[in-house]
Structure 1
Amino acid sequence: MPRIDAILRDARTGLEPGDAEALLCHVLGRPRSWLYAHGDDELDEAGAAAFDALLARRRDGMPVAYLTGRRGFWRFDLDVGPATLIPRPETELLVELALERMPSDRPLRVADLGTGTGAIGLALAFERPGAEVIATDASVAALEVAAGNAARLGVGNVTFRHGNWLAPLAGERFDLIASNPPYIAEGDPHLAHGDLRFEPPTALASGVDGLDAIRAIAADAPAHLVPGGWLLVEHGFDQGPPVRALLEAAGFEAVATATDLEHRDRVTLGRHPGPAATRAPRG
């Protein structure tokens, strides 16, 4: 039977760094640190066969997160599936910026639009247990994944509603609205490559310029924000200027774009006109 260190060495060929380790950890039910401490252990035939099957699917392009059913985000390991966008590290910037605008000393109402796995809503609800978080999604299958994550993680101050963007929130107002909507232009060649081929198209592309969803959210959000409330949206690296223009046209103040760790435009935010916020977080 092959040793773990040997099978890993052979498996890394043609894969992204860490993919082989993640898949073998999934097969064995062990953390990555265990692999390096047990490199001379042998992998039995059943384990080797399961690992080989996962490697073949990964080399065909299937994302690791879909193969393992999990993806780390914020403080969690989230269940993911083909009905949901795979959470990305850059979305944690949106969570950080939202938390800066969510005082912990008073009740808050927060909306997460297009929640997918529940990543944003769950992170905000976990960090602000006194807040009421409502997460929406047009996909029933995605909401089932998100609700399962909330139950497994024990986050009880988030509820889920079915519908497109703000439609399920008629007549309600919030202190903060956050969203990571689809923002890739339809027909973008990137949609036919890499992991994007396997993710739900409706969670990725939005109109000829990629801005249809953000356009709709920016137009509708003012009616759902309290005076001084914030809207934050994630977008593509080259969409900062048009997204700022959309928020300004919708009447938002203090509009700004924050950059990610690679210094690319990533999140644009704006404050609904009204009394000054309880504190002045950075833009």
Structure 2
Amino acid sequence: MNDHYYSNKPQSASDRQAFETVLRGFNFRLTSDAGVFSRDGVDYGSRVLIEHMEIPHEARILDIGCGYGPIGLTAARLAPQGHVTLIDINERAVELSKHNAAANAIHNVSFAQSDLYAAVAGEVYDVILSNPPIRAGKVVVHSLFAESWKHLMPGGTIWVVIQKKQGAPSAKAKLEEIYGEDAVVEVGKDKGYRIYRCTKNGE
């Protein structure tokens, strides 16, 4: 069965499970399921991104490839006067992120099932957050990077986490091609994971 976390409609039988975790000092009760990314708990890469990401209190934020929502929902807590849009190609992931927002009384959020940026065409953000779907392949990941430019306000940032052994060097090169070498900064690394912040300069 060809069923991946980047499938738009997972075929695996639902098997929801709930767990509690702390992210950036906030307590969360999250529910995950079969057929979504990191169903057994918040993955280490997402945790590293969450620890490093800088979120202005009034920011307009996009979490692309949101899974069941840990990155975007943490961002919503960090931006109480802002708004976070959580999108994923996986309809089960989107439903879980909605469920988790409600369960944690997080209201400054909206959701959409989306193939890359299709559901937010024409929208721009102060911050884009992504733990990109590496298993979907380099073409998809590099498209996610390339299209991010037009979805950022001038001076906006995209924050990306990626493992060195899963293509961090080529990802950094692609981001530098899009944003310029001086605009791409490695702001953190932990256990092989790299966090890149890219700033949209110029225009």
Tell whether the structures are fold-level matches, with TM greater than 0.5.
yes
Cα distance in structure 2, aligned partners of 1:71 and 1:85: 17
Q: Sort the Cα spacing of 1:73 and 1:214 in 2 relative to 1 into closer, same or farther, 3 A.
A: farther
List gaps (5 residues or longer) in structure 2. Answer: 1-14
Matched to 2:111, the amino acid is F
Cα distance, 1:261 vs. partner? Answer: 3.4
Matched, 1:156 2:83: no
Identity among equivalent positions (%) equals: 29
- The within-5 A match list for 1:59-138 is 68-70=17-19, 72=21, 74=23, 75-86=27-38, 87-98=42-53, 100=54, 102-104=55-57, 107-138=58-89
Preserved contact between residue 60 and residue 127 of structure 2 (Cα < 8 Å): yes
Cα distance, 1:67 vs. partner? Answer: 7.7
Preserved contact between residue 31 and residue 100 of structure 2 (Cα < 8 Å): yes
Tell me which protein shows more helix as a share of its residues: 1
How does the TM-score come out when normalised to structure 2? 0.81
- The within-5 A match list for 1:1-283 is 68-70=17-19, 72=21, 74=23, 75-86=27-38, 87-98=42-53, 100=54, 102-104=55-57, 107-183=58-134, 205-207=135-137, 211-238=138-165, 239-252=167-180, 253-262=182-191, 264-274=192-202
Cα deviation digits, residues 32-78 of structure 1 (max 9, x gap): xxxxxxxxxxxxxxxxxxxxxxxxxxxxxxxxxx6843363513131
Matched to 1:222, the amino acid is W
In our comparison, the structure showing a higher alpha carbon Rg is 1
List gaps (5 residues or longer) in structure 1. Answer: 1-65, 184-204, 276-283
Cα distance, 1:124 vs. partner? Answer: 0.3
Matched to 1:93, the amino acid is V
Cα distance in structure 2, aligned partners of 1:265 and 1:144: 28
How does the TM-score come out when normalised to structure 1? 0.59
Preserved contact between residue 116 and residue 143 of structure 1 (Cα < 8 Å): yes
Cα distance, 1:251 vs. partner? Answer: 2.6
Preserved contact between residue 94 and residue 267 of structure 1 (Cα < 8 Å): yes
Comparing 117-126 with 248-257, which one deviates more in the overlay?
248-257
3-state DSSP of counterpart to 1:216: helix
Cα distance, 1:136 vs. partner? Answer: 0.4
Aligned length: 181
Q: Sort the Cα spacing of 1:206 and 1:167 in 2 relative to 1 into closer, same or farther, 3 A.
A: same
Cα distance in structure 1, aligned partners of 2:170 and 2:44: 23
> Which protein, 1 or 2, shows the higher relative CO under an 8 Å CA cutoff with sep ≥ 6?
2
Cα distance in structure 2, aligned partners of 1:219 and 1:90: 21
